[in-house]
């Protein structure tokens, strides 16, 4: 199992999918780390009505960890 990595020690690779902790909300989000010409930031892939990502300023993210690999042996979900 992965350990939390402080953002002050190291940031994820660009476009790496991660779990990150948002200090002012005291919540965790699955998303990705991205870098553009202006800044680096974390973005959540959480669904919203307008289907936009939720962007967070890097300064309020204190920790992150790589997402675990999905299960290899899973059962098909049957629809009813």
pLDDT on residue 41? 74
User: What is the pLDDT of the chain when averaged over all its residues?
Assistant: 76
What is the extent of the structural domain holding 40? 5-66
Sheet holding 54-57, edge to edge: 5-6, 61-66, 17-22, 27-35, 40-44, 54-57
Q: Does any domain span residue 71?
A: no
Mean pLDDT, to the nearest integer, of 76-80?
65
pLDDT at 68 > cutoff 50? yes
pLDDT tens, position by position, 27-59: 888 888 877 766 677 777 654 444 455 666 666
> Into how many domains does the chain fold?
1
Q: Does any domain span residue 78?
A: no
Q: Does any domain span residue 73?
A: no
For the chain, how long is the longest CA-to-CA vector? Answer: 48
Angstrom distance (rounded) from CA 12 to CA 32: 9
Q: Is 26 left (phi over 0), alpha (psi -120 to 50) or beta?
A: left
Contact by Cβ (8 Å): 41, 29 = no
């Amino acid at each position: 199992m992965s350990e939390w990595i402080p953002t002050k020690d190291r940031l994820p690779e660009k476009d790496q999918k991660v779990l990150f902790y948002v200090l002012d909300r005291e919540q965790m989000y699955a998303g990705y780390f991205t870098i553009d010409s202006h800044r680096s930031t974390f973005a959540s892939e959480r669904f919203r009505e307008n289907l936009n990502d939720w962007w967070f300023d890097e300064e309020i993210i204190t920790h992150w960890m790589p997402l675990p690999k999905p299960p290899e042996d899973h059962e098909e979900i049957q629809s009813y």
